[in-house]
Amino acid sequence: MGADGSQIGIKPLPEALSIARELELDLVEVADKANPPVCRIMDYGKYKYEAAQKAKESRRKSTNVSIKEMKYRPKIGTGDFDTKTRKVEKFLAEGHKVKVTIMFRGREMAHPELGKRILDRVADTVVNTARVEVVPKLDGRNMIMVLAPDKRAQAAFAATQKQAEEEAAAAGNGAVPPESVPTAAEQPAVEPSTAAEPVVETAAPDEASA
């Protein structure tokens, strides 16, 4: 086979090598089980590089996404809730899915709405980075919900943050939007002063005595 994929035909090995050398390329055996074996004229160094790049890209796309789990209690305190939810956000930012579990004990099973309330709080907190993939549902003595990273929400949130930072920077520099500055036509005309200039009176000199 030629470098462009065309069929050259059956050639003796010395002749095939000669053709490859004339093109300053390599003769590479690509099907040793065929009869006769199939060879191709190519740039073997370039071929190896492209194959390595394809393998690298394939490994990158096949990165395993694990499912992390975070457990809450129905009566969790504010501090513990914030700490656990920050960890959930970290997992989501790393590209992992997160299984959020509410663990009920004893009579808490009679009040599943408490667990649902906690799961709703978690979902509302991470709304800018994730979406609910599996809605809250009871699983034995637990209530579970699965969150997945949401790239669209993350991009929209990042754009909003960037715009807010730019506006804050502009306000800090005292910049005034062009549309807020009145044009010459909009500015009030200043009439020339028509007030009379003050008159200065001088006292007459005293008359001389006779």
Domain layout of the chain by residue ranges:
13-61, 67-153
Write down the CATH superfamily of domain 67-153.
Answer: Translation initiation factor 3 (IF-3), C-terminal domain (3.30.110.10)
Helix H or strand E encompassing 32: none
CB atoms within 10 A of CB 160: 11
Kindly report whether the global pTM for this prediction surpasses the value 0.75.
no
Tokens for 152?
A: 């669209």
Residues 6+ apart with CB under 8 A from 149: 92, 93, 95, 96, 97, 129, 130
**Tens place of pLDDT per residue across the chain (210 aa):** 787 778 888 888 888 888 888 888 888 888 878 888 889 888 888 888 888 888 887 776 655 668 999 999 999 999 999 999 999 999 998 889 999 999 999 899 899 999 999 999 999 999 999 999 999 999 999 999 999 999 888 888 888 888 888 888 887 765 555 554 555 445 555 454 444 444 444 444 444 434
CATH level 3 topology of 13-61? Ubiquitin-like (UB roll) (3.10.20)
